[in-house]
Structure 1
Amino acid sequence: MKRINSDQITTYNSISEFLLSLGKLEVQENDFSISSLDCYLSDEPMKSNPFRTNFFNFLMIVDGAGSYTIDNVLFKLMPASFYFTTPGHLKSFIIEKPWKGFILSFTEKFIKEYYLGNLFKEFPFLVAETTPPIYLNKDMEADVSKRLDTLLEHYQTESKFKYQMITNILIAFLYKVKEMLFEAPRLEGQQFGYSMLVVRFRKYLDDHFRDVISGKVTEIFNGNQIASALAVSADHLGSEVKKETGRTLTKWITDRTIMEAQCLLKNSSLSISEIAYKLTFSDPTNFTKYFKKNTGFSPKQYRDQ
């Protein structure tokens, strides 16, 4: 059985990094990707080592067999299996019989560029849940496959409004997932997903940055301030967040700050100085240094891409 990855736990920060680990050298978007599983994964038995990703993955297994493990809980996969994973969780997979179907991947940054709603409030499973696979009947399998095929069709075309259209279709797809989760039978006696503390942290971070962008607060909180707001010690919060997501409190805050900056640079007419002040930097020069340190580009270079 073919084995991928090294013996250490790797965190993939982009879809391209993950594809490269699979030996896929073709260029893919870093923030959104949808592919047919027929040409995505191996056509021979495969076993991965544990790894993490910092993006969302949705898989529709139309045919094939295997399993995946997430946070040490094993789930079997068979034809008509649908499952998804959220950023930060420790996971691995085994392919026993080649999978056919679809794999959809996207980042929080991508969907928030064109969706103005409250993402995690509307779709709380994107924050809180690691869900067992849903085994679909024939009609549901056809419905989900058709929606993913439509996303793939739009992804493979060129249009001035390509990503706006993809996002609208993606939002409709997430509502369908939400509907399926309401209807799926609950597994008794098992808890899946992040601990309540990490869920509270994720939701607090999302609300906090919404307040930053709207001007309701005048500073981006550090880990100590967030821990205080959640009424826990910073050491305990930091330890739990790192253990469950693979990222430190500082990394979560930095990544979110950069994501908000990138969205404003690409999707607003605000000047770089105005963006710096909106993100509570007292000096635009400091914002430029911070942005370049964490992305490799100056804000102007990123905007001009």
Structure 2
Amino acid sequence: MKIFANIREYFQNIDDNADSFSEYFYITRFSDFVKNRDSREIQREFSQPHKRGFFEIALITQNSDVMNIGEYTFGNVKYSLFTVSPFQVVSFNNSNSLPAGDLPKKDIDGILILFKPSFFTTIRQAYEIQQEFPFFKIHTSPMYNLSQENFADVMQLADQMYAEVKNPALNSTEVVRSFLLILLYKIKRLSRDNTIVATSDRFMAITAKFEHLISINNGDFLSVKEYASQMNISPVYLSECVKKATGKTAQSIIIDHRVLFAQSLLHQSEKPISEIALEMGFIDLSNFTKFFKRNTGLTPKQFRSEKTGKTT
């Protein structure tokens, strides 16, 4: 699966000025983005399941296109907020969801914001972002339907960021950075009923870093001992922290991420289930089927059929 490490690489064939303001921050209006670009070019770049090494916030006034984020599919949305974390599986207008030959429409309106933790001066790791702003955790819903009043409130901040980037002046980076932090805290406030409020204790911080390490491995899931080694702590201490922070074992967290990755591939990819099983590390398809059903209650075929109508 393709992984785009940075913003410039992501827009390599789409927007030559993607990093003109900062290599760690990008903002555009969707209407400007699609207006002068070939729909086939956008479809070619983003239709296949892929991962990105940066965060995304999308404020969408309206959109009739289809977006796939993890196991979720969204289309025909209005006044909606989307949040996507690094290394989540994403695709747009995948042929699983649209008839063959359909292309991105140009009726999308709103603002797209991409950023890497390096854009900030104090919060510089992805897991720190997820710790401070729990709506970025991959087990939370990536979409929030907002009232028009709340949507207008956050859109005003996004508009101010956009204006600052388009007309940079003295200390523009600091101004945009401040607006982005305010926007993130506004979203945190709006999403507080939908997410678990993070704590700042040591157990939660270690668990957040542990989950980040799991997410950045592109289908290569390690053991608790191997993750603990990467974090320079003992497996026993890692397991203790995860248990106190989540109520789950460290191994069950790994399994949760593994299942989520399998669901994303089954939902967004056109690969045969047997090929997905191999990508997940299962040489025997029957073992993959048992693993998936044990953890979801459905076979891979049943899950794919429910999501896409396909059975292979």
Q: TM-score range by the shorter chain?
A: 0.5 to 0.7
Who is 1:30 aligned against?
Answer: 23
Q: Aligned match of 1:223 in 221, 230, 234?
A: 230
Q: Aligned match of 1:19 in 11, 31, 34?
A: 11
Moved over 6 A (4+): 232-245
Who is 2:63 aligned against?
Answer: 64
Distance in 1 of aligned mates of 2:250 and 2:148? 49
- 1:260-305 CA deviation, whole Å, 9 max, x = no partner? xxxxxxxxxxxxxxxxxxxxxxxxxxxxxxxxxxxxxxxxxxxxxx
SS of equivalent residue, structure 1 residue 80: strand
Contact (CA 8 Å) 2:3, 2:52: kept in 1 or not?
A: yes
- 1:29-69 CA deviation, whole Å, 9 max, x = no partner? 32111111112245748641111001001111113312211
CA apart distance, 1:97? 4.9
SS of equivalent residue, structure 2 residue 23: coil
The structure-2 alpha-carbon separation of the partners of 1:205 and 1:88, relative to structure 1 and needing over 3 Å to count, comes to closer
Contact (CA 8 Å) 1:114, 1:164: kept in 2 or not?
A: no
Who is 1:81 aligned against?
Answer: 80
Q: Aligned match of 2:151 in 141, 155, 158?
A: 141
Structure 2 residues without counterparts, runs of 5 or longer: 94-103, 196-204, 213-227, 243-248, 262-312
Mapping 1:151-170, distance limit 5 Å: 151-170=161-180
Letter in 2 for 1:135: N
Letter in 2 for 1:20: Q
Distance in 2 of aligned mates of 1:157 and 1:143? 22
Q: Aligned match of 1:203 in 205, 209, 214?
A: 209
Of structures 1 and 2, the one scoring higher in RCO (CA 8 A, sep 6+) is: 2
Q: Please report the TM-score for the alignment, with normalisation by the length of structure 2.
A: 0.56
Structure 1 residues without counterparts, runs of 5 or longer: 1-8, 187-198, 207-220, 246-305
Letter in 1 for 2:111: F
Q: Please report the TM-score for the alignment, with normalisation by the length of structure 1.
A: 0.57
Contact (CA 8 Å) 2:62, 2:76: kept in 1 or not?
A: no
Who is 2:222 aligned against?
Answer: none
The structure-2 alpha-carbon separation of the partners of 1:114 and 1:155, relative to structure 1 and needing over 3 Å to count, comes to farther
Mapping 1:98-247, distance limit 5 Å: 98-111=107-120, 113=121, 119-183=129-193, 201-204=207-210, 222-223=229-230, 225-226=232-233, 228=235, 229-231=237-239
Letter in 1 for 2:107: P
Who is 2:2 aligned against?
Answer: 10
CA apart distance, 1:91? 0.9
Q: Tell me how many residue pairs correspond in the alignment.
A: 210
Contact (CA 8 Å) 2:51, 2:86: kept in 1 or not?
A: yes
SS of equivalent residue, structure 2 residue 167: coil
Distance in 1 of aligned mates of 2:141 and 2:108? 20
Percent of aligned pairs with the same amino acid: 20
